[in-house]
Amino acid sequence: MLATAQLQAGWLQHDFGHLSVFKKSSWNHVLHKFSIGHLKGASANWWNHRHFQHHAKPNIFSKDPDVNMLHVFVVGATQPVEYGIKKIKYMPYHYQHQYFFLVGPPLLIPIYFHVQIIRTMISRHDWVDLAWSLSYYLRYLCCSIPMFGLFGSVLLITFVRFLESHWFVWVTQMNHLPMDIDHDKHRDWLSMQLKATCNIKQSPFNDWFSGHLNFQIEHHLFPTMPRHNYHRVAPLVRALCEKHGIPYNVKTMWQGIVDVFRSLKNSGDLWLDAYLHK
């Protein structure tokens, strides 16, 4: 239940961060600080800086931080070959589709994001966001220590982050990781967004589970649009894409999950072939 609350708070802060809830930007900014800071323990400025780069150049190396895998994974069809030719082997990438389950979903939020957020707030002297973040932990500890003690409280929040991280990774990666990931080809904006995103079929569960980010195409094309309008504009976007011969990819959630696994395996195989034979 706590993990569900945290993840849904994450989708809520995402709405505020995109200025898609209130007409006045200032109200969105204030509630974004509150929701991501006091409800999540994170930083609004860290999120804005990272997420807006992702929207501007999705799946573009050196421009989208979400495809900066820190040499732990190789993704797409270009990077694995480049690494293989240069004999770069930080990890056994031909097994990345297997160790992904041990490294990706379990550790992204509890370890990588957590450390990055704290380091960013301190290095940039972002004391306002730090205060919001500390208010989350103070509130949590004041409520949980009387019931579980300090050690139990730390274990509980770590476990909640662990569960939340799995949920978050699968929702976000099934929309992007199996898609085109490459260096900047300077495509037109519409083609660039459609190359990098795909949708997951609509259903009441999928809408709730993903915070309506199953409409990832519409979200990337209209980032300030309130999420409850995505289903209304989706048929229009699809018709426009069909008119101009631009692929509009929609898949089931199960297909999306399988495609994450398959794309990692394909990239790993490309790396191994280039590493051994080129």
Domain ranges of the chain: 2-277
| pLDDT for the residue numbered 78 | 95
Is the CB of residue 43 less than 8 Å from the CB of residue 117?
Answer: yes
How do residues 223-258 score in pLDDT, each as one tens digit? 999 999 999 999 999 999 999 999 999 999 999 999
> Span 173-195, mean pLDDT?
93
| pLDDT for the residue numbered 156 | 93
Do you know the residue count of the chain? 278
pLDDT higher than threshold 90 for residue 278: no
Closest CA to 176 of 266, 105, 260, 265: 260
pLDDT higher than threshold 90 for residue 141: yes
pLDDT higher than threshold 90 for residue 1: no
| pLDDT for the residue numbered 96 | 95
How do residues 69-117 score in pLDDT, each as one tens digit? 989 999 999 999 999 999 999 999 999 999 999 999 999 999 999 999 9
